[in-house]
Amino acid sequence: MSDIETLKAEIKKLSSKSVTWKMNLHDLSEDLPINWTNILEVAQETYDTFKALDDARKRLKALESQPA
């Protein structure tokens, strides 16, 4: 599998994970003040996932822009 294909597969997994964490954060916010102690944990996990997704997309863009 090429680097680009591997990165696309990683992006697909991260995209799915980011949707899950986005919904977790949304659900947590709707239930406040219940479980308010989980805010930092859920927010950090959401941030980390979206950061990883953004980084992977940037790496893919860089790879795709390289001459063959």
Q: Model confidence over 14-60: pLDDT tens digits?
A: 999 999 999 999 999 999 999 999 999 999 999 999 999 999 999 99
Per-residue pLDDT, 66: 87
Q: Which residue has the tokens 């995209």?
A: 15
Written as one letter, the residue type at 44 is: Q
pTM over 0.75: yes
Q: Which residue has the tokens 């090429």?
A: 2
Rounded to an integer, what distance in angstroms lies between the CA atom of residue 68 and that of residue 10?
Answer: 22
